[in-house]
Amino acid sequence: MTVTPSNDSGPFAKPMNDIPKVVFSNSLTSADWDETTIAAGDLADSIKRLKQERSDGYLLAHGGVRFARSLVETGLIDEYRLLVHPVVLGAGERIFPARLALEPKSTTVFSGGAVAHVFAAQP
């Protein structure tokens, strides 16, 4: 399996194609998407390395609930940005496996009903 670029012509396609990306996988061996590298092995070690390499930058993680939960479990997240859409699912998986100490920083309400919450992680 390979990671391929977005062929979408929408407003986010070019920025997504142009920014550096890291795909965490122990099964992928290549990525056809420009600016993409594959990180295999221990997730916490990879995150620590990325934080050191980009100490003046911003790292954004995008993925499903299992990936998010794996990141939470590393204890290496400095800030949580949660985008909540007004959709009722009825059931689902928890992102946070245990209670976390979070400090609210900001909230933004979007015209479509989604709300973005930013929380600082507390030690």
Q: Which comes out higher in pLDDT, residue 21 or 6?
A: 21
Q: Which comes out higher in pLDDT, residue 99 or 92?
A: 99
Distance CA(120)–CA(13), nearest Å, equals 29
- Arithmetic mean of pLDDT, 7-12: 68
Name every residue whose Cβ is closer than 8 Å to that of residue 22 and which is 6 or more positions away in sequence.
36, 37, 38, 39, 46, 50
Distance CA(30)–CA(3), nearest Å, equals 7
β-strand partners of 36: 21
Global pTM reads 0.72
Cα dihedral angle (14, 16, 104, 47), rounded to 10 degrees?
Answer: -150
Distance CA(16)–CA(56), nearest Å, equals 20
